[in-house]
Structure 1
């Protein structure tokens, strides 16, 4: 749990990027970086980013708030492909086991609770 005085500048936090594993890369040479900020009600609160490129992922239950960047997440929901825009201010949930395709055109940074 966070102290009452907890504050973080998620938009300017320095993250160390690492290459996306080759098995997940669809296009380009994307990197990801993250930082755990703490625990909130038993859930991990953190910041994550991805540089331009395309990658697949299998998600955990997560609430996301996009801070910056642009792109699209392609998701399978109810047997249909849904495109989730990655734009500043977008808020959405990802579901445990959901297979996604992240297509990033400008480095995306998000705050997540998972």
Structure 2
């Protein structure tokens, strides 16, 4: 997943920073608004992919949100991430290992530092959680 540009702060993209008192927050992922996330032209492999995202929750350990990319291919260095594909279809090609095709209902796990190319065939939207640092004991 391409990372946010240096000039974009997580606070500027965050929709919800605090869970309600109940500890449960609900978002309608299929229609939740997303913010543009420019892809570095040097990372574009094919086509004219456009990315967008929103951070739904963030603290010192995790970031949770929604990410979307339109058809095309872009390379990047992955974060320590777990994601669930909500809609669309893509092929993920890690630098080391076979290509994997994902679609709605698929759950993926990416190791931090993995180099991969995302080739999106149908606009892909996923929910994700990135682990930023080891979980406290």
Same fold (TM over 0.5): yes
Aligned-partner Cα distance in 2 for 1:43–1:85: 26
Aligned pair 1:85/2:101, yes or no? yes
**Structure 2: gaps of 5 or more residues:** 1-17, 131-137
Aligned pair 1:2/2:19, yes or no? yes
Q: For residue 62 of structure 2, what is the aligned residue in structure 1?
A: 43
Correspondence 1:15-94 to 2 at 5 A: 15-39=34-58, 42-76=61-95, 79=96, 81-94=97-110
Runs (4 or more) in structure 1 with deviation over 4 Å come to none
Aligned residues: 111
**Residues 38 and 44 in structure 1, CA contact (< 8 A), matched pair in contact too:** yes
RCO comparison, higher one (Cα < 8 Å, 6+): 1
1:110 Cα deviation after fit: 0.3
RMSD: 1.7
**Residues 19 and 30 in structure 1, CA contact (< 8 A), matched pair in contact too:** no
Report the TM-score when normalising by structure 2: 0.74
Instruction: Give the strand-richer structure, 1 or 2.
Output: 1
For the pair shown, the structure with the greater C-alpha radius of gyration is 2
